Structure 1
């Protein structure tokens, strides 16, 4: 019997080493090849009319950068309050007046007052939490990079990528759609920013926009279409994540996932992939009170786990 146990242990060693060496945090959520974001600036009326219904119909999220202290927003306030209840409308800060600032002292109320309005649109959420931020163009911002970073951190704002969208940067539907293929080819995050859609100002034709949504629908299996906060959370957590194998045998693997980000603000599960022994066909993945079944594909199991959320236990299914 002792000889048999020694033999079994010897056979297990390669599997244990393999599991320990190949647990990794995947680049994008759910193991997608790329990520993509849609953004809409300035609280344009056409976004309520032509954009929100299309996003809801297709279950695609959009980021809406609202200017909450001007007459336009006041005239549309009730409609934005209703729209913000949609899971496909991610509201974000585009400053209170969109007039720019001459110094850091003027910047603070521009961010704080806009945030105050945005908080009233998502009353089901517990503060503090992150909000997206997009710096308006066409107005002066006499603030240093250090002052910008300090102000965004103070108000729990995460900055979006630089503006890029039709009709300013892309002059046709084909050029607009090509940004999706470029993101997939590079395995990176792609994004498009809009103002008016179908009407208002800096107008993108509705036909371009719906063609883009058709494209995104066709690649959902390989593209993570997300909001700016979730993108920022995932990248921040991913880039400082560490996975440790606490225990491993032929029947189970126990892991610990941590990251350096503040858990009060960074609480998005990451997607992990762990290699498992060759005879595993499926397993259960448990972390805290959460448990789910997961299939083994090509010797690995893919699953979501929360950094700092407790031990992760992968257990071979009978």
Structure 2
């Protein structure tokens, strides 16, 4: 009887070990959560307001460049300087195709309508955008991607599936705080798109991620200008909080975060995507 009890205890312990290991997801230097500061569409207000704020607080962000935008053509050397500062330049396609269907999509012109483009055309756009970014910053490794408007369906299927293998991570609009790092698909990382919010509201999401031990991704557009904007004051309040709590929250490029996430998932047997 005694031997049977010992055997049963050992069996139960062996079953519990994988579960315990799965529950342990760690961030560098024991931090509570990761915070991604991303900026879409290569807007003037990002160069004018967001970059100086990041530099002031010693934080790294990720800028998703659209090569066809006027602000890229006219301020290319400034974008090169952003990369030299240590910020990430991410892929956001060449012309920013979105579905023109649905409420609020009147801004999408016919030639940028994702519903009219094929998976092959989108795959080529993404590949050419990578070449452009390499010419801009000289980086030859894997990058990250944000799907324009969070849309993934081209005229003949899901183009994200066709390009996922080339990226360390892909942001998809929708959601905010990652609920479970073990279940996270690197090719479908949720991203909040804050507009007209306060700094306190942004900080609340960071603290929520800290309680969960996961991550939160902010995808900003205009900062104190342009469109889908947040005020300079709200942005500054968030950055000041992150700088004052850098021992608790890991704020770095999305690429660096996703490389860490993939390694953790591989160790724990939860590898997805690439």
Same fold per superposition (TM over 0.5) = yes
Residues 241/140 of structure 1: CA separation in 2 closer, same or farther (3 Å cut): closer
- 8 Å contact kept, 1:35–1:224: yes
| Structure 2 Cα separation of the partners of residues 78 and 140 of structure 1 | 31
Matched position secondary structure for 2:250: strand
Shift of 1:150: 2.6
Corresponding residue of 1:106: 121
Matched position secondary structure for 1:84: helix
Corresponding residue of 2:230: 204
Question: Where does 1:71-150 land on structure 2 (aligned, <5 Å)?
Answer: 71-87=70-86, 89-100=87-98, 101=114, 102-123=117-138, 125=139, 127=140, 129-137=141-149, 141-142=153-154, 144-145=157-158, 147-150=159-162
Q: Which has the larger radius of gyration?
A: 1
**Higher deviation after alignment, 193-202 or 63-72:** 63-72
Q: From 191, 194, 210, give the equivalent of 1:163.
A: 191
Matched position secondary structure for 2:149: coil
Matched position secondary structure for 1:137: helix
Q: Once the two structures are superposed, what CA deviation does each residue of 1:262-313 show, in whole Å capped at 9, x if it has no partner?
A: xxx9xxxxxxxxxxxxxxxxxxxxxxxxxxxxxxxxxxxxxxxxxxxxxxxx
Matched position secondary structure for 1:27: coil
Matched position secondary structure for 2:207: helix
| Structure 1 Cα separation of the partners of residues 249 and 267 of structure 2 | 22
Matched position secondary structure for 1:39: strand
Corresponding residue of 2:178: none
- 8 Å contact kept, 1:98–1:139: no
- 8 Å contact kept, 1:34–1:188: yes
| Structure 2 Cα separation of the partners of residues 259 and 182 of structure 1 | 23
Q: Which structure 2 residue ranges, 5 or more long, are not aligned? A: 1-19, 99-113, 172-188
Task: Give the number of aligned pairs.
Answer: 220
- 8 Å contact kept, 1:34–1:222: yes
Matched position secondary structure for 2:34: strand
Matched position secondary structure for 2:55: helix
Shift of 1:162: 3.1
Corresponding residue of 2:55: 56
1:174 aligns with 2:189: no
Q: Once the two structures are superposed, what CA deviation does each residue of 1:193-246 show, in whole Å capped at 9, x if it has no partner?
A: 11010111112100000000111112211111121111211111111217xxxx
| Structure 1 Cα separation of the partners of residues 79 and 88 of structure 2 | 11
Matched position secondary structure for 1:182: helix
| Structure 1 Cα separation of the partners of residues 168 and 65 of structure 2 | 14
- TM-score using structure 2 length: 0.72
Matched position secondary structure for 2:97: coil
| Structure 2 Cα separation of the partners of residues 157 and 35 of structure 1 | 16
Ranked by relative contact order (alpha carbons within 8 Å, sequence separation 6 or more), the top structure is 2
Residues 56/106 of structure 1: CA separation in 2 closer, same or farther (3 Å cut): same
Shift of 1:156: 3.5
| Structure 1 Cα separation of the partners of residues 70 and 153 of structure 2 | 22
